[in-house]
Amino acid sequence: MSTSVVAVVRYEKPLESVGRAIKLSGGLDHLPPKARVFVKPNIVLWTRRAVFPKWGVITTTRVLEDVIAHLKERGIDDITIGEGMVLFDPKDKITPSHAFESLGHKVLEKKYGVKCLNVFERPFKKVDIGCGVKLNFNVDILESDFVVNIPVLKTHHQTVVSLGIKNLKGTIDVSSRKQCHSADTKKDLHYMISKLANKMPPGFTLLDGIYTTERGPSVNGVIRRSNLLVGSRDVFSTDVVGAKLLGYEPHQVPHLVHAAEDRNRPLDLSDVEVVGEKIEDVASFHNFDFSYNENGLLPTVMEKRGMSGVTYRKYDSSICTYCAGLYPVIMAATMQAWKGTPWDDVEVLTGKVMEPTHGKNSTILIGKCMCQKNSNHPNIRNLIAVKGCPPDPKALSQAFHQAGIEVDPETLENWEQNMGLLMKKYEGRPEFDESLFRASSAG
């Protein structure tokens, strides 16, 4: 049985630590001379209206720059940094440009001659990734000779972990992303995600674990400084080791189970050789899930406050990133609105598969998918439909008012600023180092 080498390295020094991960894993050994290289960091989301905690959410500029420096050292000149971040308006060109500027990627353009590319400004090509699943991928990554995939080492509230394979979701178009969050119980999110790397050019995956994230993938998670790098030429092997480092057996991660089946690979790491640090010496458990009460009808945090008269069914994998992005803000607004008097039995439903419960006084359907599925459902007494894909925050606040839940419209409408406030808990902690998200212009 052939084995794949995965390097686990402590992040200690700029350039050197990434160099060690590349050397130990042989990550760039098969890089063709004069290759066109596509570098895929993870810039899951960005906003111009608040300073989000980048730690554990976005790939550090430090690791990105170090990878580019090593590519340049090998004589590679054609390097593209490409990302398709979550944008509420995919035509928005200003936010991606602002992200590239703020994260120092524009400095890297000048310093190393690389290009920064927002995939939504480029063409997509339909690709059959197996079993009849067709998704639209960015052409630049498909047509490159070599892909350097640099996700963050983090958990994900829907997919358990979000590592190399999952990071490629940022290279498909919006309709394909929505297609991934399918209501089909067989071809569900996990199934779709597992196939994202199937038609990729050869490459090197490097997990950036300088910061790691509990309850990721976004800013409402809890970030830790972990100082780890994990690299391999084989994305599946990188991901099973990454899952172990976050405290999960690969068989606990549904998309890795599917990916193993596709590749005819074991999940027990028996065909993976780990070099560098031992997994057991550096692994630590990172919770991926938000906690709900026993019947799954209310987040524990709401139950602890004694909130009643409202049910928030636990979100499922069919809610896509756009609606899911609003979910924590809706919850925060509901908690702020709680004054100790039970509301009038309101049910809030999201995603594509939930069914209204019989006997509720009001049912709020969030998003176009829920409205299409359930607007005529016989269980609904008082229908409050918030259409839109994703729904408009103003319409959301009106809907809650209609149900008698007096949310503060400002909390929902200024959700970007309010999400930014979550970073306050990291202020004054020296391990949360802004300089890791900047590039120095010195050559």
Which residues contact ligand SF4 by CB under 6 A? 178, 319-320, 322-323, 351-352, 367-369, 389-390
Supply the minimum distance, in Å, between the C-beta of residue 88 and ligand SF4: 10
The residue to which tokens 């597992």 are assigned? 194
Supply the minimum distance, in Å, between the C-beta of residue 383 and ligand SF4: 16
CA dist 35 and 71 (Å) reads: 10
Looking at the Cβ atoms of 158 and 237, the one nearer to ligand SF4 is 158
Phi, psi values for residue 28, rounded to 5°: -110, 15
Supply the minimum distance, in Å, between the C-beta of residue 389 and ligand SF4: 3
* C-alpha pair distances (Å), 381 with each of 114, 375, 395: 58, 11, 20
Supply the minimum distance, in Å, between the C-beta of residue 264 and ligand SF4: 33
Phi, psi values for residue 104, rounded to 5°: 85, 10
Q: Which residue is nearest to ligand SF4 (CB)?
A: 367
Looking at the Cβ atoms of 141 and 349, the one nearer to ligand SF4 is 349
Supply the minimum distance, in Å, between the C-beta of residue 398 and ligand SF4: 17
Looking at the Cβ atoms of 60 and 159, the one nearer to ligand SF4 is 159
Supply the minimum distance, in Å, between the C-beta of residue 367 and ligand SF4: 3
Supply the minimum distance, in Å, between the C-beta of residue 319 and ligand SF4: 5
Phi, psi values for residue 159, rounded to 5°: -110, 10
Looking at the Cβ atoms of 14 and 388, the one nearer to ligand SF4 is 388
Biggest alpha carbon distance in the chain? 69
Residues 6+ apart with CB under 8 A from 247: 283, 284, 285, 286
Rounded to a whole number, what is the distance in angstroms from the first to the last CA of the chain?
45
Q: In 277-359, at which residue ranges do the beta strands (DSSP E only) sit?
A: 310-312, 346-349
Phi, psi values for residue 348, rounded to 5°: -115, 125
Residues 6+ apart with CB under 8 A from 440: 107
Looking at the Cβ atoms of 183 and 279, the one nearer to ligand SF4 is 183
Looking at the Cβ atoms of 246 and 396, the one nearer to ligand SF4 is 396
Looking at the Cβ atoms of 187 and 368, the one nearer to ligand SF4 is 368
Supply the minimum distance, in Å, between the C-beta of residue 177 and ligand SF4: 8
Looking at the Cβ atoms of 189 and 274, the one nearer to ligand SF4 is 189
Quick one: DSSP state of residue 416? H
CA dist 165 and 239 (Å) reads: 7
Q: How far is CA 47 from the centre of its chain?
A: 15
